[in-house]
């Protein structure tokens, strides 16, 4: 990836064209969006055609990890091949005075690169923890995964060498002649938060959730 503040893309295939003024290739900006998101959409070309699947993910510096079942056909097809990973955080809706200028407030990252299957035991375990704790940090409080569970889980690593970030904030950009017209323009922020923990129906009485679960109640979801 390019150095922080560098406006030059690492490759032409990630160069921003539409809305380029909203984007950058800044390493830190890419990391911030990835750390805020929860779901990655992974695009893979399979023998049956292209497919995009949502996955949990985790980041370790400039490496993005995704995981799934060993039997997952899309993951198997991605091994050693070029993939495209996107993460989007939706922050609101932008309402133009004309529907042509409707838009969204968002933060998004697009990553392109070769997916490497993680086979080293130490990296595999570390990646699983990164992915799990990125969603919610319960690894230290939960039952450790068994060897069988680990064997059933495939992890792919995608370098963040080729990544771009776009952020759209503010309000609509309307036609000058519409500004004094009768139509409303503005934005509707999306403010989401985590609710109170709900115990499983079959939870043994007296077991309380760990602080990593209770602490997120009422906090912003993104």
Query: Could you give the C-alpha distances from 82 to 1, 24, 32, 58, 110, in angstroms and in order?
Result: 16, 22, 24, 19, 13
* DSSP letters spanning 50-77: EEEEEEEEEEETTEEEEEEETT-HHHHH
Is 151 strand, coil or helix? helix
Give the pLDDT score at 190.
97
Report CA 109 to chain centroid distance, whole Å. Answer: 8
Per-residue pLDDT of the chain (222 residues; tens, 9 = 90+): 444 445 789 999 999 998 899 999 999 999 999 999 999 999 999 989 999 999 999 999 999 999 999 999 999 999 999 999 999 999 999 999 999 999 999 999 999 999 999 999 999 999 999 999 999 999 999 999 999 999 999 999 999 999 999 999 999 999 999 999 999 999 999 999 999 999 999 999 999 999 999 999 989 887
CA pair distance 59, 53, nearest whole angstrom: 18
Cβ(222)–Cβ(193) below 8 Å: no
User: If we measure between CA atoms, which residue out of 222, 167, 163 comes closest to residue 30?
Assistant: 163
Domains of the chain: 12-190 (2.30.110.10)
Tell me how far apart the terminal alpha carbons of the chain are, to the nearest angstrom.
24
Cβ(33)–Cβ(165) below 8 Å: yes
Q: How many CB atoms lie within 10 A of CB 53?
A: 16
């Amino acid at each position: 990836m390019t150095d922080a503040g560098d406006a030059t893309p690492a490759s032409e295939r990630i160069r921003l064209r539409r809305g380029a003024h909203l984007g950058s290739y800044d390493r830190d900006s890419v990391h911030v969006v990835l750390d805020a998101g929860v779901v990655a959409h992974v695009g893979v070309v399979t023998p049956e055609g292209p497919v995009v699947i949502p996955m949990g993910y985790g980041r370790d510096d400039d490496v993005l990890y995704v995981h799934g079942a060993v039997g997952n056909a899309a993951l198997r097809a991605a091994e050693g091949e070029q993939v495209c990973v996107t993460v989007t955080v939706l922050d609101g809706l932008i309402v133009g005075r004309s529907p042509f200028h409707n838009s969204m407030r968002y933060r998004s990252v697009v990553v392109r690169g070769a997916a490497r299957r993680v086979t080293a035991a130490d990296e595999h375990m570390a990646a699983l923890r990164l992915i799990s704790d990125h969603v919610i940090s319960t690894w230290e409080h939960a039952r450790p995964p068994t060897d069988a569970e680990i064997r059933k889980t495939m992890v792919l690593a995608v370098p963040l060498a080729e990544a771009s970030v776009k952020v759209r904030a503010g309000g609509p950009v309307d036609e000058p002649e519409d500004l004094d017209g009768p139509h409303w323009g503005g934005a509707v922020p999306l403010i989401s938060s985590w609710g109170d923990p709900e115990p499983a129906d079959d939870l043994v009485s007296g077991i309380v959730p760990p602080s990593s679960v209770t602490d997120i109640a009422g906090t912003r979801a993104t």
